[in-house]
Chains A and B, each alone.
Chain A
Amino acid sequence: MLWARSGCCSRSCYCCSRGGGLRPLARPRGGAPGPPARPRGAAPGPPARPRGSAPAPPARPRGAAPGPPARPRGSAPAPPARPRGSAPAPPARPRGAAPGPPARPRGSAPGPPARPRGAAPGPPARPRGSAPGLPARPRGSAPGPPARPRGAALGPPARPRGSATGALSPKPAFPSHHLDDRVGVTSPLDLVCLSLFLACLPTCICNLHSGSCDINCCCDTDCNLGCDLEDSRAAFSFCLPGTKLNYFQQPQKVKKSDFSVFLAQYGGPSFIPPSQDLPSSSAFYRAGDPIQTYFAASSVRSTLRQPVGMSANGFCIDGNPAGFLESKSTSCTRTFTNLSSSCTTDPTLDAASYYRDFTILKVITPVTQPGAPQMDGNTCHNVVSEVIYEIEFNGTHGIQNVSVQLKVTSVSGNSLQQRFTLQFWVSQSRTPSYTLPRSGNPGYIIGAPLLSLNSGVTILQSQGDGICSQTLRYKVQFGMNLRTSCQLSYFQEKLYQALQGVSSPQALAIIGSAEPTQTDQWTSIIIRNCSMQAGNCASCCMVPVSLKIQVLWAEVGLQSNPQSQVLGARYWYQCQSLKSLNMSMVPLTTVVSFTDMTEWPKPPRSQPGTYWKLPFDFFFPFKVASNGGIKLTPSCCILMSHLVPVPHLGETI
């Protein structure tokens, strides 16, 4: 409750109230010294007490003293020291406290009605932090054994949070009999608060220079020359925030055993990294475990590395470990400042460093053993371009066999792209005769290679100079529309071969798991070449300049588990007369298009069809209600049904 500050005096007198807590004979804050003054939070009981001040003698440590008259917050008029809190004198109305039983002071009382936080067992209501008969109580403390932590009911003597039985006030302020009355005075927290004595008291926080007047600090006693004098404060333009008579809860006591508990309770993210359990050395590999290697010569254990290119620059990160059962392929770029020295000294270019001198449970057997890199002129030969580890494993028995395939190349530039692949197989499950990988089971997976009977479907790929590459061809992936073009010198047969590949595909796999022996799983490709397009120019020499590979596909089967299958494919060569090509090089274009023919099922009959000539959101409120989405209040429903369709009338009328 905030009482009107009656008799508020001029600024020159402000000095007397603020920050006057420690001074004897201080005036109430903002209040006149006369009796009718009502300090904030004080009851109109006879001798009003100014907030934070005491008309009576010396220091008022916070806590309360048992003096009879009204008590302003944290203060008492009685001569003895008043620690913060208050005393239970009947007429007193300290902040939030009432003398009568129904009062709910902050701090606690044991009686059934009042349960302030912090507890005290005394019968009447206690102002915050006070105990019944005992004069001085530190805030939040309870003298008796049945002390309660804040908000707790009476019970066994739990350690109250933030409670300490000691006084917050300076000892000298207490009359001796008060000290004698208290129970359990000595607590370390008392000492804490004693040492922070000033911090626990209402002090003038803007008084930063002792002995001299701080500018705009109205509670600075050094600015006070006397109540009636026009002192330096008259020149202040405003008052810095000074004393605030509100107190934090007492922090809990931290012990060695509690430390981590509190840290977990109050702690948040910080720069301290969360503790990570070290990977326990399991008896067998689990999926994702790094694959252990052992260098017999140096007796060093390490992990099998699968270099990977990091974003930003794509250069090789050699420390990346290979995970058990994680069949994947990575590629990265290596650059050389000096190829001639790197060629012979850089171990990452040497094939031997990928299999020699270390073991992965069993010896790695390279399929081919390329020689060491050699520098020849400007070119470094026998440089590793691709490493393929094939690892056979057998359940918990771990890795049974590892073989490595190495591909070497020659480098003359200052950078090289390397590729690293790990492939895991279950032991004895490999059938070496048939190794056509599936592109889905049964339906195609989007992005998986399109299967044809004798090879994958490939298209021309351009080199850096725009000439068609003789060796590299791009694999057509299911669902990906493609377009590419490159140039080739023309010979009719050669052009066909260039467009369709060395072995022209005759049939496409309908499903991703097609077996070559099952003829019903393959669809023959419709080929339409130049001879069919000669038209009226029979003598013209028609050469193919572009190839359109058109694939029709659809999703079939259950709607919840659709499977993609190829329905038909066509190779359509587009030809031009040789005469119309006046270049020595023929630009060849390949286009691949996948056309989705999926027929989606009709919705079940329970759903209304779309033939209704109603505004499209006519049923919106009902849909929302039935979907359990937004709960519409009735008034909202009415509003919507009136307002929403109106703009759409133009559509239907």
Chain B
Amino acid sequence: MAQLELFSHPGPGVRYRAGLCSTAALGLLLLWALTYLPPLLVAYRSQGLWLKQSTYMEQPTVQFQYEVLLVAMTGADPGSFLAWSTFPAFNRLQEDQLRVPLISTREEDKNHDGKMDQLHFKLELPLQSTEQVLAVQLILTFSYQLHRMSTFVMQSMAFIQSSSPIPGSQLYVNGDLKLHQRQSLSHCGVDIRYNVSVINGTSPFASDYDLTNIIAAYQDRNVTTVLSDSNPVWLVGRAADAPFVINATIRYPVEVILYPLAVV
């Protein structure tokens, strides 16, 4: 009959054996079960047995795409606005409302790690002395890349909007370009789902430059970037011959990125 060794002293000790169908064997089985099962059950009940998602931090490689779309309201009338973009088709559609601003930009790599850290953007919209700006909408586009886990490439945008009943002289914006994840990114591979232009600059149709359509299509994405600036400063008191100025500093911060854990 098969025997089970229950216990043995090290060295020339005594060995305790019992049959497989003995009470001692049953006790051994019970002890084994009590050793492993309760911890397993406790761990499982605490909802933390299988780690399914995790996060990592990475500073994205962001590059300003030098694509700008500007709409400035100059009055309450529907027709009183000025618009301009870097897309020739859009500019052709504007006719009399086209007003070309002076744009001055600089991207800065503060810590010289090869990744840009912030964008200085200044836009001077020349105005006639009778014109005044009550609201502005501005779209800047960026190329946004992550490399650490999966290679994620997308074209994203920052949308700046501000308005005031008082005619403005300057809009000052200083904020972070934050990644907004509706879905976790893959842990490996290449993800170019959203590597498409935010604004279809080759299209001759006005609907492709409509802000609602642009934003609706953009928000359909599961991964976007959002300019987080809760405190845009609207400055008033423009001199007659001075331009309307949009002064923006957009930072590219380190992001916490959600990804699913893979079973190797």
Contact = CB atoms under 8 A, between A and B. Distances in A.
Interface in B95-116: 98-106, 112, 114
Contact of A312 (B100, B104, B112, B236): B236
B247 to A, nearest CB: 11
A481 B149 CA distance: 33
Interface string B168-191: 011000000000000000011000
A152 interface: no
B256 interface: no
A616 interface: yes
Which of A314, A315, A413 has most B Cβ within 10 Å? A314
A313 B170 CA distance: 9
A463 B100 CA distance: 10
A650 B240 contact: no
Nearest to A447: B106
Contact of B187 (A413, A414, A446, A650): A650
A311 B235 contact: yes
A223 B188 CA distance: 77
Given A650-B264, A651-B187, A466 B237 contact: no
Contacts of A647: 54, 187, 261-262
Contacts of B262: 647, 650
Interface string A453-487: 00000000111111000000010010111111110
Interface residues of A, number: 43
B148 A616 contact: yes
A462 B102 contact: yes
B68 to A, nearest CB: 8
A413 B129 contact: yes
Which of B101, B127, B148, B264 has most A Cβ within 10 Å? B264
Contacts of A600: 112, 114
A413 B112 contact: no
A160 to B, nearest CB: 54
A11 B228 CA distance: 60
Contacts of A648: 149
B50 to A, nearest CB: 13
Interface string A401-443: 0000000000101111100000000000000000000000000
B187 A484 contact: no
Interface string A596-609: 00001000000000
Contacts of B148: 616
B261 A474 contact: no
Contacts of A264: none
A649 B188 CA distance: 10
A616 B127 CA distance: 53
B126 interface: yes
A524 interface: no
A550 interface: no
Given A313-B169, A482-B104, A647-B261, 11 more contacts: A313-B236, A314-B237, A314-B238, A314-B239, A335-B237, A413-B129, A417-B239, A464-B128, A482-B105, A483-B103, A486-B100
